[in-house]
Structures are given as C-alpha cells and as structure tokens.
Amino acid sequence: VSFIPGGLDCSISFVSHVLGKVCVHGRQKEILGVLMPHLTDLTKSHCIWQRICWRLVECVPDRWMEAVVLGFVQGAPGADVLSRLLGNLVVKNKKAQFVVTQKMLLLQYGHTTAVLQDLLGYLSLDSLRRPLLLRVLQELLETWSSSSAVKHSPVEQQLYISKAILICLSHMKEPEIESCRQELLTSMMEGVKCHLDSSLPQLRRLGMVVAESISLKINTEGPALKFEYEEDDETRELKSLLVQTPPFCVVPSLPDDDRSEKAAAALPLVPESNEKPHTAAPVMPDEELDAELDSDDDLAPYDMSEDKELKIKAPVYIRDCIEVLTGSRSEDVDKWEATVKALESLIRKNPAATREVSVELAKILLHLEEKTCTEGFVELRQRAQVAVLTTDPIPVAKYLTSQFYSLNYSLRQRMDILDVLVLAAQELSCPKFHGKTKHSGAQKPCIQLLTGSDSSKDWRGIVDERIKSKTRRFNMGQSHVELASHPNEFNSVAGHFFFPLIQHFDRPLTTFDLLGEDHVVLGRLVHTLAILMYLAVNTVAVTAMGKALLEFVWALRFHTDSYVRQGLLSCISSLLLSVPTERILADMTEELLETQSWLGDVMEKDPDGDCRRLALQNLLLMENLKKKLEAVPS
C-alpha cells in the first residue's frame, strides 16, 4: 500500500473504510503489520503525514472503530508512536474513548504489560488526554477496592488491574496526585482490607504491593506503608512498573518486551546494608621476627585437650522432660531449651514410656510457648507433637480433635492441630523404609505444612501424578514393579483422625465459627480432610470415610471462598483415588451422579482457575472409573 506524497488534497475516507472492514474481519495483524511501520516512519518527520494518519483513523466508521483501535494499540511499538498515530482520537471519538478507557482496562484482561504501558503512556502524553488518565485511575481504583470484585473475579484479572493502577501512578504528576489525594487514600484503605481478607496468598501479596505503591506516591515525606512479604518475580515486576523510563526512539523491529525489561533495570538497587565498620584493623605485625627475647618460651603449656564447649545436659527421661517444661523456675532456661531440642528423639526412643504420659505431653506441647529465642522452635515443637501422636495415636488423636473444636484456642493453634494430624498420618501410613512408598508409582513429596498455604499446590501435584499413573495402568497394564509393601499403620487409627474432625463443623462456638469468619481455618480443615482421605487408601474405614466426606463436600459446595472450594475439590479427588472402585459404584452412585453435574458446573462457571482445573481433573477421574469398570470383565 503506497501513499501519494506531496501536497495533494485527497480524501482518505475510502482508505479508512477499507481499513475498518479489514480489521473487523480479524485481519488486523496483517494489514497493520504493513501499514504501521510505514506510518511510524512517515509521521516521525512530517506533521502532514501525522494529520493524514489522524484523519485516517477518525474516518473509520464507528462500528469498526473498536477493531481498528485495538489493532493499533496492540501493534504500536511505543506510547509515543501511538500518540503520533492516533492523535487525540480518544477525545474526539466516543467509541474510541470507550474502547481505550473502559473496555481494554476493565472488561478485558488478556493484554500484555507492554500493551498496558503503551495505552496508559499514550493517555498521559497529551494535556487533552490527561483528564482521561485521571478518570481511568479512579475507575481502576474503584474496582480494585471493591470487596465483591476481589472475592469473585479471577486472579489474572486482578493482577491486570493492579498492573494498570501501578502504571497510571507512575505517570501521574505531583499536582494531579495532590488533587485526588483523599480519594486515593480512601480507596487504598478499603482495597487493602479486602485484599488482606482473602485466603489466597497471591491476592494478599497483590494488595500489599499496590497499597505500598499508592502510599509511596501520596506520602512523599514521612514514612510510607511497608508490608512484610516474600519478594518474588511477580512482586518485583509489579514494583518495576512504578518507575518510568523516558520513552526513547525504539526501532520498530524491536519487540515490545524490551521496554519492560529496561524499566525493570531502572529500578534502583537497594544499597547493601553496611556492616558495622570493624575497627579491629591490626596495627602491629603479628610476627616479630626481630630478636626480642620471648620469655614466654620457657612457660610450657599444660595439656588443654579437655577444654571443650560447655554443653547443658538435657534430661534423659520423659517424665523429667515434662517436669522441666511445666516447671515455673525461670532460672533454668538453658535446661528448658535443651529439653525442647532433645524431646523428639527422646519420645521416639522410649515409646513405652511415652505411651504412659502421651495425652499429658500432647497437652503440654499444644500450649507450649516460646520462652527463649530458640532457633526453629516452631518446628521443634511440631516434630515433638508428631512424635507423640505417632507413638500413641488413638488417645492423642482423640485429645487433639476434641481440642480443635474447643473454646479459647487461637486460630494458629487450631491450624497447628491440623498440621500435626496430617504429618502424623503421613508418617503412619508410609513408614520410612529407605524412602520406598507403599503406593506404587506415585511419588510422595515432602509436605511442608509449616508454611501452610501452599499445601493445596503440593497436593495437586500428587493428584496429577496419581491420575497419570492410573490412566497409564489402564492403557498399558501392569507396567510398574510393585515395591515392597508394609502394613499400613494408619489403618487402625484413620477413623480416629478423621471422623471427630468432620463432626462438629457446623456448630459455632463463641470464639470459633468455621462457617463464618474463620473461613481460613475451614479451608485448612478441608485440605486436611482431603489429605487424610488420600492417606487412608486400602484401610478398612475408607468407605465410611468416603461417604461422610461426600456429604460434607455437598453441604459446603457453594462456599464463597475459593481456597475452601479448592479444598473441596481436592477432597473429591482423594475420594475417587482412595475408595475402591467397587465400593464407590456400589454405595455412592446417586451422590456421585449429583457430584458429577456439580463438577461440570464448576468447570464452566467458577471464577477461579485452580478450581476449574481441579473440577476437570475430577471429571476425568470419574470417566476413568467408569471405563475401568467397563474394561474389567466382571
């Protein structure tokens, strides 16, 4: 497509029509791929060409405007280029304005960061367009701070909106921020509250990063808001969006990613915290080779081999440990610390002695608080608790599950109970014999439940592998070597772990309401039940557990918290994997059919991506079950 140079007065509305028609049929990339580089070069030098270009886009009929604008925004190599090409189109044309300020930012979320940068940069480059930028920021903040949006919109969309907010903030100038400071502050406070309320760690982090950035912008003097969270690639990328590098002349052939990389590099490196200047610079040389009579030489040293580090001895008997831990003598802190460190190995070495005092020990450990600044105290305590639980499962499980539903425990303690139950169940169901696991094929990754929130991801990994192994087995027959099997110690106690936990979930207490505010604990409980179900494979109680679990899931299936829903779907997966197929089909057919239709619903309509994936997996598992049953001759 070539243009007529020179000062000819021509009408380009025909070209606009062609452009529009082509774009709306989906051929934006092809035509704009050729057109844009030409226009970019031409508009750089001649303002006549700029005006021609503007006329070109302005004349595109409204019904095709969206496609054309989208194409331009996506294809432009930079905000300044976009500005040259489109001019003040967004101000003049209502449709274009809608597309740029509303549709691309609030209704769609699939565009890349580079596109966002270009779009918002374009809005900021001209004084006629800046008011639009302000309005865009306000609307974005409204969405970001609305609690229903945080709860129900997918994480990807929230990430997109957060990025857009940060880029807007980076373009704002001081007087503009001044004028809307109050609104920024209000939105920030509301938004932070909704984000921190969420059970998904990614959303919490998003909220924290955005809130920090907003507070940084509105409080130029004085301390800015600072949250504690782990930095990862996402947070670093988000923070880099706050720093704007001046647009420089990028050759059109360079990919768009370059600009975001350069922006990231402009992030000032935090200076390394200086070590306290060590004043110990030795002044005199150590070796004095000049002949100064060393009268020390005639002093013969004595034997000092006995001089070793002083170790505080920990008690050797379990009952002594109990005395030390419950004793109120504050002087013996060293002994207390040594006891805490030695407790787990003592418990494991003396199972008979532990069984005599197991419930008492469990009680002490549940209430044990850190007295000294011991390293790894939480882990030491948890390992001791797991050791007690595995040594004497039934009474201790009874105690712990009853305490889970009792008054006056903190949320942290209740979640600790759940973690301990899971770790102990894992240990009981696969005793450590050179790392071989009982379930052939499925790898058992080490579940770090201390950090807690990521257990659902680990389990998804396990379930994925399990599904893979199951499907393979169906297709290719027994291809795995059976590993040495051991009696599953979890068999006799699985019910004791599982049923008390599931019993009282709908009975609220004054300090603990699973179905109400404490949905974080509910989420953890559901995940715990899924894990216990999974570990109960081949136990006697597994069918009863399965039925109870299915009822539980059915009651909670419409819960608003996505972490809880993910847990419920993991429960279904565990159920399908652990309960023998014959029992499922014999005892739970109607429930399963209902569940199947629920899963289909979830797969299509649930806003959370993880939920949808899990639902799909479950449906696949159910399909496999059916096929398996059909394939095996009865």
Partner 1 sequence: MALPPPDPQFVLRGTSAAVHTLHFSCGGPEPDIPLLFSGSENGFIHVWNLKTHRVDTALDGHGRKSVYCVETMGGKDRLLSQGRDQRICLWDLAEGRTSVTDSVFTEHVGFCRCSLLKVAQGRWLMAMAARSLEEVQILELPSKTSVCTLKPEVGAKLGMPMCLKLWQLNCDSQPVLLAGYEDGSVVLWNVSMGKALSQLICHQEPVMSLDFDVEKAKGISGSSEKVLSIWSLNEQQNLQVYKTHELVNAGISDITIRPDKKILATAGWDHRIRIFGWKKLKPLAVLDYHTATVHCVSFSDHSNPQERLLAAGSKDQRISVWSIYAQT
The answer to the question of residue 481 lying near partner 1 (CB under 8 A) is no
* Total residues at interface with partner 1 (CB under 8 A): 22
Q: Which is nearer to partner 1, 246 or 282 (CB)?
A: 282
Q: Are 556 and 446 in contact (CB under 8 A)?
A: no
Measured between alpha carbons, how far is 376 from 341 in angstroms, rounded to an integer?
Answer: 9
CB of 321 to partner 1, least distance (A): 24
Q: Which is nearer to partner 1, 173 or 308 (CB)?
A: 308
Measured between alpha carbons, how far is 55 from 52 in angstroms, rounded to an integer?
Answer: 5
The answer to the question of residue 331 lying near partner 1 (CB under 8 A) is no
CB of 279 to partner 1, least distance (A): 5
Binding residue (CB under 8 A) for partner 1 from 233, 290, 307, 604: 307
DSSP string, 604-616: HH-S-HHHHHHHH
CB of 310 to partner 1, least distance (A): 4
Binding residue (CB under 8 A) for partner 1 from 173, 308, 313, 432: 308
Measured between alpha carbons, how far is 290 from 308 in angstroms, rounded to an integer?
Answer: 35
Collect all residues with Cβ–Cβ distance below 8 Å to 299 and sequence separation of at least 6: none
The answer to the question of residue 269 lying near partner 1 (CB under 8 A) is no
Binding residue (CB under 8 A) for partner 1 from 8, 289, 299, 484: 299
The answer to the question of residue 284 lying near partner 1 (CB under 8 A) is yes
Q: Are 38 and 78 in contact (CB under 8 A)?
A: no
Q: Which is nearer to partner 1, 281 or 446 (CB)?
A: 281
The closest alpha carbon to 104, from 122, 92, 87, belongs to 122
The answer to the question of residue 221 lying near partner 1 (CB under 8 A) is no
Residue given tokens 């590099």 in the structure block: 265
Question: Backbone phi, then psi, for 439, in 5-degree steps?
Answer: -85, 110
The answer to the question of residue 478 lying near partner 1 (CB under 8 A) is no
- Measured from the Cβ of residue 272, the count of other Cβ atoms closer than 10 Å reads 6
Largest interatomic CA distance in the chain: 111
Question: Residue type at 333?
Answer: V
Measured between alpha carbons, how far is 525 from 518 in angstroms, rounded to an integer?
Answer: 11
Measured between alpha carbons, how far is 520 from 525 in angstroms, rounded to an integer?
Answer: 9
Measured between alpha carbons, how far is 142 from 53 in angstroms, rounded to an integer?
Answer: 35
Q: Which helix (H) or strand (E) holds 34?
A: helix 28-45
CB of 284 to partner 1, least distance (A): 6
**With CB under 8 A as the contact rule, which of the stretches 199-207, 283-291, 437-445, 473-481 interacts with partner 1?**
283-291
First to last CA, the chain: 71
CB of 307 to partner 1, least distance (A): 4
Collect all residues with Cβ–Cβ distance below 8 Å to 211 and sequence separation of at least 6: 188, 191, 192, 195, 225, 227
Q: Which is nearer to partner 1, 248 or 302 (CB)?
A: 302
**With CB under 8 A as the contact rule, which of the stretches 45-53, 161-169, 273-281, 537-545 interacts with partner 1?**
273-281
The tokens for 622 are 């159910």
The answer to the question of residue 296 lying near partner 1 (CB under 8 A) is yes
The answer to the question of residue 302 lying near partner 1 (CB under 8 A) is yes
Q: Which is nearer to partner 1, 174 or 286 (CB)?
A: 286
Q: Are 37 and 80 in contact (CB under 8 A)?
A: no
**With CB under 8 A as the contact rule, which of the stretches 92-100, 176-184, 301-309, 519-527 interacts with partner 1?**
301-309
CB of 340 to partner 1, least distance (A): 21
The answer to the question of residue 310 lying near partner 1 (CB under 8 A) is yes
The answer to the question of residue 291 lying near partner 1 (CB under 8 A) is no
**What letter does residue 449 receive in the DSSP assignment?**
T
Binding residue (CB under 8 A) for partner 1 from 228, 233, 275, 309: 309
The answer to the question of residue 273 lying near partner 1 (CB under 8 A) is no
Binding residue (CB under 8 A) for partner 1 from 221, 230, 286, 482: 286
Q: Which is nearer to partner 1, 10 or 312 (CB)?
A: 312
3-state SS track over 142-172: HHHHCHHHHHHCCHHHHHHHHHHHHHHHHHC
The answer to the question of residue 294 lying near partner 1 (CB under 8 A) is yes
**With CB under 8 A as the contact rule, which of the stretches 296-304, 391-399, 590-598, 605-613 interacts with partner 1?**
296-304
Q: Are 346 and 384 in contact (CB under 8 A)?
A: no
**With CB under 8 A as the contact rule, which of the stretches 274-282, 370-378, 455-463, 492-500 interacts with partner 1?**
274-282
Q: Are 559 and 565 in contact (CB under 8 A)?
A: yes
Binding residue (CB under 8 A) for partner 1 from 269, 270, 300, 352: 300
Binding residue (CB under 8 A) for partner 1 from 11, 274, 295, 451: 295
The site for partner 1 (CB under 8 A) is made up of: 279-284, 286, 294-296, 298-304, 306-310
